[in-house]
A and B are shown apart, each in its own frame.
Chain A
């Protein structure tokens, strides 16, 4: 019996994205008509030089910013023009973010940081009712990234690798459909960075989690299934990774 492998459906699309920033009197056209599709369960990396527009593209796709021209579509539906409250909810439920500088809240410990997307999602009363269940979920995520022993530690008491693991646990706790990682290894040493990429790859294969990772490191980018190269705000090429 022949089985025809159907490609996964398109989950997120960038349609003719254009973005210009004003730096003093000067206008910088960061993205110039970028078109791109991301399939469900795909591990995609965006590579390019500094200033090529890769982080801006990630921010636009994750609804952290709005394009000047063009559209962002989630499963075929335009989402960039939705009301602010709906975009906030999409950021909370659909997207998970991992940043180069971890961006954990310094006043909260690891458990509280990981719980923060759930606290944002639920009302105080609802959170209070389900706090045991939600805390268990957060503990599970922390265990998955190997930080059980750091659960009550503050960010200031942890190493860079641990911080990034905690940030990944935070991005996963809300069970997002798409993980957007902006230079997740950019601030880590090679070995620790490798560990983080291993973790992301594992999450992608085990959970079928769609991952978009921005990096300027060719070697790390090679771990993705598809590599999008940006140059001066435009897609220079898109490469499929050769099957290993």
Chain B
């Protein structure tokens, strides 16, 4: 009883102990905030990668693909049908994206993924990545509502907004062409720079595909507004770039191409040897996964068009070929089992079967390592607080030497004396951790309000949504993390008090009583 009574009195009367509590509290709060934000970022990143891929992916080694997707799907369903919720075939191949922006042709290397939008939407949250399904926010205000209702299945048709833009653009081009034709008929106009620089070089704005074979629309050539047979969802990073608005000083995004525009895509055929294959496509939507790596390299294209362009449709049988199957599982926990079963059914010399995590192994491992290192570094903050406790306790033990002698004279055991200081350390740890947990959780809960406040005070945006693609700072609080941080801090506080407590316990009663 005397132990808890003295421990409580020391806590109440020794204000220097408050310094230890504050250091533990700040350490715990920092760890909770940093871990929650990192965990929020990490889980968002995982969701985005997971969403773009699928639970399990079966890929052929060759870009030529394998024939008969129906057969491949049937095999997958036969071996793991109980676990599979949805399967969709895809074709993946590298290519080049070309589009005209501000009078010049821009070419970018891309990965073209041929998909069926309905099927792809079943294996992943395709809608949440497509720009037309999501409102555009700036400073937490909606500046453009979503262009499509969320019930609408992803498809290869333009949204009304994009359609209007396309009509307007084509009308403008038509008018420009007419004006140009009228001028040309009156006199020959040669641009000045063309004359001066390289008389024989083509104009930057001239179509680089002119003269080279390119697949265009087969039908509906009489409709000037008709979309190309090729339809794509283009990664936001491929057709936009960020810039600082000179007027507002805010980061904004400049779109170089947008839904309704036509682009040219070149890739290779599936035959041997691979040959150049190019086709025109209309941008139907822009996708933002939030993963820069994907957003600046991926194009989703209509599967049939890509198969046709690449010669992946057998002229004789009409059967198609695919390069991969994306599978959504009923329960992702069973992914390992499914992968094992699929590996047994799909010969390894032709196919690779992986979960999305296995496919992104190095990236996820790097994030894990980064998180672990950060945790170690942050834990050092609490360790520093631990040394603070040690120093303060040592001081308190010296100050309380006579009291220790009194207690020993009254019959207190060395263990009893030791436990006064250990429970004192534990109390500091409990109070520090408790307040730290509350502070940390409050900080995490109001992190966006705090960010607004700091932005208001400093006049500089701390968290720019145009850089991170997040409207708000993502956070994820895991109770196990909070518990382990709090317990760790308490343990450090107790460990830091062991040395002073042992010293107190070993004090000689007579010498302690004689201490002035």
Contacts and interface: CB of A to CB of B under 8 A. Distances in A.
Q: Do A and B bind each other?
A: yes
Given A108-B5, A119-B1, A103 B409 contact: yes
Q: Interface of chain B, helix or strand or loop or mixed?
A: helix
Nearest to B10: A107
A97 B6 contact: no
Bin the interface of chain B by size: 20 to 34
B414 interface: yes
Interface in A95-130: 97, 99, 103-108, 112, 116-117, 119-124, 127-128
Nearest to A128: B1
B407 A120 contact: yes
A59 B512 CA distance: 13
Contact of B411 (A59, A93, A108, A112): A93
Contact of B2 (A93, A97, A103, A119): A119
A65 B509 contact: yes
Contacts of B510: 59, 64-65
A116 B2 contact: yes
A92 interface: yes
A62 B5 CA distance: 26
Contacts of A104: 406
Interface in A49-88: 59, 62, 64-65, 84-85, 88
A182 to B, nearest CB: 9
A93 B411 CA distance: 8
Given A64-B510, A127-B1, A91 B6 contact: no
A34 to B, nearest CB: 17
B9 interface: yes
B13 interface: yes
Contacts of B407: 105, 116, 120
A128 B5 CA distance: 12
| Residue of B13, B410, B412, B414 ringed by the most chain A CB atoms within 10 A | B410
B6 A107 contact: yes
B370 to A, nearest CB: 47
B327 to A, nearest CB: 61
A84 B411 CA distance: 10
A205 interface: no
Contacts of A122: 1
Interface string B401-422: 0110111111111101000000
Nearest to A90: B411
A188 to B, nearest CB: 18
B513 interface: yes
A88 B9 contact: no
Contacts of B402: 103
A99 B403 CA distance: 13
A105 B6 contact: yes
Contacts of A64: 408-409, 509-510, 513
Interface residues of A, number: 33
The interface centre, meaning the residue of B4, B6, B508 with most chain A CB atoms within 10 A of its CB, is B6
Nearest to B6: A107
B416 to A, nearest CB: 7
Nearest to B514: A55
A89 B416 CA distance: 12
A84 B413 contact: yes
A85 B408 CA distance: 11
A119 B5 contact: yes
Nearest to B402: A103
Contacts of A124: 1, 4
A121 B2 CA distance: 10
A91 B1 contact: no
Nearest to A171: B410
B513 A103 contact: yes
Given A112-B5, A124-B4, A128-B1, A105 B406 contact: yes
Interface in A136-152: none
Contacts of A65: 508-510
Contacts of A91: 408-411
Contacts of B406: 103-105
B13 A107 contact: yes
Given A89-B411, A117-B410, 5 more contacts: A103-B402, A103-B405, A107-B9, A116-B410, A120-B411
Interface of B: 1-2, 4-6, 9-10, 13, 402-403, 405-414, 416, 508-510, 513
9 contacts: A64-B408, A84-B414, A85-B413, A91-B408, A99-B513, A103-B513, A108-B5, A119-B1, A174-B411
